[in-house]
Amino acid sequence: RAGLVAIVGRPNVGKSTLLNELIGQKVSITSRKPQTTRHRILGIDTREQVQTVYVDTPGLHIEEKRAINRLMNRAAASSILDVELVLFVVEGTRWTDDDQMVLNRLIAAKKDVILVVNKTDQVADKEKLMQQLQWLGQQLNFLEIVPVSAKNGKNVAELRALVQKQL
């Protein structure tokens, strides 16, 4: 089996870090500075039973005044269209208008979506995270909701297994 999986989310949520962890290689540049990923990066994870091709999208950019942002929005939007599965990455500690915009696009795209709640290592208040997860779970009929820490590799193997199960 083989499948194409898009990693989407607003800038800085940890998409590139997650891609690198998922495939165990540093193919995508990660940075504290938003908008480091300027074009699509592919990561290929070849296992015995299943080959997964991940697409690390440039974040969606709400501000469309700059031509580069318009282009990046198009690249990100098109990469959502031709994949079988979307990993929607958000931060465990905050929800912004940009997250909402990406969510709206996913709802419109009618794709299978796994919600990845990243940076759980930064979450001090577990109770608040649980409430956040519950609220997020009501926004779209996600296949799965998976909390991870991409930076520490926490729960990433479990996420990979869930992805492979869907393909």
Please give the residue ranges that form the binding site for ligand GDP (CB under 6 A): 9, 11-17, 30-32, 36-37, 59, 118-119, 121-122, 149-151
Report the residue number, 50 or 101, with the smaller CB distance to Mg ion: 101
Q: Which of 26, 45, 12, 29 is nearest to 159 (CA)?
A: 45
Q: Which of 92, 153, 140 is nearest to 118 (CA)?
A: 92
Would strands 144-147 and 51-56 be described as parallel, antiparallel, or unpaired? unpaired
Pick one of ligand GDP, Mg ion, none as the site partner of residue 132 (Cβ within 5 to 8 A by kind): none
Q: Can you tell me which residue has the tokens 């109770």?
A: 127
Is 34 a known ligand-binding residue? no
Is 79 a known ligand-binding residue? no
Which of these ranges, 31-39, 68-76, 125-133, 144-152, lies near Mg ion under the rule CB under 5 A? 31-39
**Both tokens assigned to 115:** 């919600």
Which residues, 6+ apart, have CB-to-CB distance to 65 below 8 Å?
A: none
Is 14 a known ligand-binding residue? yes
Annotated binding-site members: 9-16, 56-60, 118-121
- Site residues, Mg ion (CB under 5 A): 15-16, 37
